[in-house]
Structure 1
Amino acid sequence: MRIKQSASFPHPILAEATGDYGPNKFQLSLEVQEQAAAGDVHLTGKLLLDDGSILKLIEAGQAVSGLMIYCQGTYLDAFENRDLGDIELDLSGGKVRGPVHVRGVVVALQDGLKLDSAAISDEFPDESRFVDAGDLLAMTDELSFEAGLEKLSPMESIFRLKLHEELTEGVFALDLDDEAIGILAAPSLHRFLSLLREQAARDALLSSLYLPVVMSVLDAMHDEPDYVDKRWHSVMSARCNAEGIDLANPDLASAAQRLLDSPLGSLQRVFEKLGGA
Structure 2
Amino acid sequence: MKFDRSKTFPYPVLRPYSDDYVDGEFQATTEFAIDETSISVKCSYQTSSIELLRLVELGHAKFASIISCRETYFRRTFLSDNESLITELPFDAVRGEVLTESYIVATRDIKGYSSPDINPEFGQKRFNFAAGQILAQDDTTVVYIDRELFQPVSVVLELVSNESLPAGDWRVDLDQNHIQIQVHPSMKESIDNSRSSAQCKSVLMNSIYFGAVVHAIQALKDEDTESDLRWVRVFERQIHNSGLSIAADDSYVIAQRLMKSPLNLLNTYFFTRVENA
Name the structure 2 match of 1:181. Answer: 179
8 Å CA contact retained: 1:67, 1:102 = yes
User: Matched residues in 2 for 1:3 and 1:94: separation?
Assistant: 26
Q: What displacement does 1:21 show?
A: 1.5
Q: State how 1:54-203 maps to structure 2 within 5 Å.
A: 66-71=64-69, 74=72, 76=74, 78=75, 80=77, 82=79, 85=82, 89-97=87-95, 100-105=98-103, 118-122=116-120, 124=121, 138-140=136-138, 149-162=147-160, 170=169, 172-176=171-175, 178-183=176-181, 185=182, 189-200=183-194, 203=202
> For residue 198 of structure 1, what is the amino acid of its counterpart?
D
Which residue does the alignment assign to 1:210? Answer: 209
Q: What SS does the aligned partner of 1:119 have?
A: coil
Q: 2:46 and 2:271 mapped to 1: Cα distance?
A: 50
Measure the CA separation in 2 of the matches of 1:26 and 1:228: 36
Task: Look up the match of 1:111.
Answer: none
Please give the alpha-carbon distance, in whole angstroms, between the structure 2 residues aligned to 1:89 and 1:264. 30
- Using the TM superposition, name which of 19-28 and 140-149 deviates more: 140-149
Q: CA separation in 2, counterparts of 1:271 and 1:42?
A: 35
Query: Kindly, what percent of the aligned residue pairs are identical?
Result: 21
Residues of 1 paired with 2:73 and 2:231: CA distance? Answer: 22
For 1:100 and 1:211, how far apart are their aligned partners in 2?
29
Closer, same or farther in 2 for the Cα pair 1:211/1:121, shift >3 Å? same
5+ residue gaps in structure 2?
107-112, 195-199
The reply on whether 1:262 has 2:262 as its aligned counterpart is yes
Is the CA contact 2:31–2:42 (under 8 Å) kept in the aligned structure 1?
A: yes
Q: Taking structure 1 as reference, are residues 143 and 218 closer, same or farther at Cα in structure 2, changes over 3 Å only?
A: same
Deviation per CA, 1:52-84: give whole Å up to 9, x if none. 6x969xx99xx99732324466464x4626365
Q: 1:112 aligns to what? A: none
CA displacement, residues 130-176 of structure 1 (integer Å, 9 cap, x when unaligned): xxxx9965213656777553245344331234566888994624223
In the alignment, the residues of structure 2 paired with residue 263 and residue 218 of structure 1 have an alpha-carbon distance, to the nearest angstrom, of: 18
Shift of 1:38: 0.7
Q: Equivalents in 1 of 2:69, 2:222: separation in Å?
A: 23
- 1:236 corresponds in structure 2 to 235
Q: Check conservation: 2:172, 2:179, Cα contact below 8 A.
A: no
The number of residues matched between the two structures is 252
For residues 221 and 81 of structure 2, the distance between their equivalents in structure 1, rounded to whole angstroms, comes to 38
Tell me: CA distance 1:36–1:265, structure 2 relative to 1, closer, same or farther (3 Å).
closer
CA contact (8 A) 1:150 1:234 kept: no
**Residue aligned with 1:96, SS:** coil
CA contact (8 A) 1:70 1:101 kept: yes
CA distance in 1, matches of 2:100, 2:2: 9
Q: Do the aligned partners of residues 44 and 138 (structure 1) sit closer, same or farther apart at CA in structure 2, a change above 3 Å counting? A: closer
What residue is the counterpart of 2:197 in the other structure? none
Q: Is the 8 A contact 2:163 2:185 kept in 1?
A: no
Task: Give the RMSD, CA atoms, in angstroms.
Answer: 5.3
Q: TM-score by structure 1 length?
A: 0.60
Contact 2:174 2:225 in 1 (8 A): no
Q: Which amino acid aligns with 1:121?
A: N
Alpha-carbon deviation of 1:266?
3.8
Letter in 1 for 2:205: L
